[in-house]
């Protein structure tokens, strides 16, 4: 057990690291951030920050040796560096889980080999016959880069011969995954924590609505049957156990029209769809991550209101004149609303599509929470 007063290291300096640092420092820990960019949201609120490349083994080794445990706030970290420093640090979750999650092909293959429900897929090596892989899955389908994809980046839907040709041209020379298109009722996610002692605890299941491949709203609890929620949690807990996870893991799922739950993606870190927990849960996902990686008892994950909705705030909400940002949103729209909570990430440069913050609302019902959330979003 790593008790308060010790030093927690975070690889990555984005908003997830920032919110992790807030939670850790409230519990009495010191947080060190390792981030290549000199201007990062997490470094702004940490006790110490190192700005160097993840491939700089000398700097990275000095960083991890100064920390009692090291975790991550995003998965696209070169695991070769972590492999070489395995004897110098305690990585939680272990770097092997990071390696699985950062590559779509490894992730899908792991799910298949371990008998977890997933979308049917085919792989295509760089320089391979992508058209053949697409035809083996059938149309419609989705072609995705194998490495480092997020928020819809690096993927393309294929519905006919014309879009097939475009996909072959777009992914030329890249390793790709071809996934069967799934008709689904909704997208769900579960965040599961697993401690050093093997204790597991699932947060309530979130229902997620995306716009242009970026998470727009998370609705808690998800508007699906209790049996579906229980099955989603059981899948997430089983994945955490099979991975021997220490930390937290977000598991994204499709609820197919057939009623089947299919695992889409995994992320061994705090997740955008868990931000609601800052205002709507006894223990936030960030405090739970701190508890899990330090060996503390896991916290209560009960909702503190009948319904919670989280809304992402993107750079699109700023005032724009062409490509020029000319003003901020009117934050009093949210700050002046009871049961609404604003969280800004400290990013200095807004851009369309960039996550700049989020807000949550609580209400007595999902309908009331969604109505208030959409009204505030429109006003913002």
Amino acid 152: pLDDT:
60
Strand 247-256 vs strand 214-220: parallel, antiparallel, or unpaired?
Answer: unpaired
Nearest to 380 by CA among 318, 308, 309, 323: 318
* Residue 91 scores a pLDDT above 80: yes
Give percent of the chain above pLDDT 70.
98
Amino acid 151: pLDDT:
59
Amino acid 233: pLDDT:
98
Q: Identify the band that residue 294 occupies on the pLDDT scale cut at 50, 70 and 90.
A: very high
* Residue 228 scores a pLDDT above 80: yes
* Residue 150 scores a pLDDT above 70: no
Distances (CA, A) of 147 to 109, 175, 270: 14, 8, 20
Q: Identify the band that residue 155 occupies on the pLDDT scale cut at 50, 70 and 90.
A: confident
Return the structure tokens found at 316: 């699109």
* Residue 167 scores a pLDDT above 80: yes
Q: What is the mean pLDDT of the chain?
A: 96
Name the pTM for this structure.
0.95
Nearest to 101 by CA among 273, 261, 262, 263: 263
Q: Identify the band that residue 277 occupies on the pLDDT scale cut at 50, 70 and 90.
A: very high
For residue 180, the number of C-alpha atoms closer than 13 Å in the C-beta half-sphere is 15
pLDDT in tens, 333-352: 999 999 999 999 999 899 99
Give percent of the chain above pLDDT 90.
94
Q: Residue 196, preceding bond cis, omega within 30 degrees?
A: no
- The DSSP line for 202-267 is EPPPEEEEEETTEEEEEEES-SS-HHHHHHHHHHHHHHHHHHT--EEEEEEEEEETTS-EEEEEEE
Go through the domains of the chain in sequence order and give each one's CATH number: 7-91 (3.40.50.20), 120-180 (3.30.1490.20), 184-379 (3.30.470.20)
Amino acid 212: pLDDT:
87
């Amino acid at each position: 057990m790593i008790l308060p007063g010790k030093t927690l290291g975070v690889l990555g300096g984005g908003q997830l690291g920032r919110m992790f640092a807030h939670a850790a420092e409230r519990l009495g820990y010191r947080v060190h951030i390792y981030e290549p960019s000199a201007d990062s949201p997490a470094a702004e609120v940490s006790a110490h920050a190192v700005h160097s490349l993840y491939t700089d083994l000398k700097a990275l080794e000095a960083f991890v040796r100064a920390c009692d445990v090291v975790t991550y706030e995003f998965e696209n970290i070169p695991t070769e560096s972590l492999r070489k420093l395995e004897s110098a640090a305690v990585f939680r979750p272990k770097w092997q889980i990071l390696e699985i999650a950062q590559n779509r092909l490894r992730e899908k293959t792991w799910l298949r080999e371990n008998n977890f429900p997933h979308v049917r897929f085919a792989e295509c090596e760089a320089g391979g016959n992508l058209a053949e892989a697409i035809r083996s899955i059938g149309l419609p389908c989705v072609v995705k880069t194998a490495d480092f994809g997020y928020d819809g980046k690096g993927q393309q839907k294929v519905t006919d011969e014309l879009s097939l040709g475009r996909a072959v041209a777009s992914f030329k020379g890249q390793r790709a995954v071809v996934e069967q298109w799934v008709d689904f009722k909704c997208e769900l996610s579960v965040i599961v924590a697993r401690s050093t002692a093997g204790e597991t605890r699932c947060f309530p299941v979130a229902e997620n609505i995306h716009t242009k491949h970026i998470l727009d709203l998370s609705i808690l609890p998800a508007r699906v049957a209790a049996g579906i929620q229980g099955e989603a949690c059981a899948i997430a807990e089983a994945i955490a156990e099979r991975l021997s996870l220490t930390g937290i893991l977000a598991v994204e799922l499709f609820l197919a029209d057939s009623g089947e739950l299919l695992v889409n993606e995994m992320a061994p870190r705090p997740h955008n769809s868990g931000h609601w927990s800052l205002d709507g849960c006894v223990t936030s996902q960030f405090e739970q991550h701190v508890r899990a990686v330090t060996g503390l008892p896991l916290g209560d994950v009960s909702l503190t209101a009948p319904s919670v909705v989280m809304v992402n705030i993107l750079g699109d909400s700023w005032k724009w004149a062409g490509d020029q940002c000319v003003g901020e949103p009117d934050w009093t729209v949210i700050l002046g609303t009871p049961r609404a909570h604003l969280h800004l990430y400290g990013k200095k440069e807004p851009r369309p599509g960039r996550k700049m913050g989020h807000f949550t609302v609580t209400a007595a019902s999902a309908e009331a929470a969604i109505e208030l959330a959409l009204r505030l979003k429109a006003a913002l």
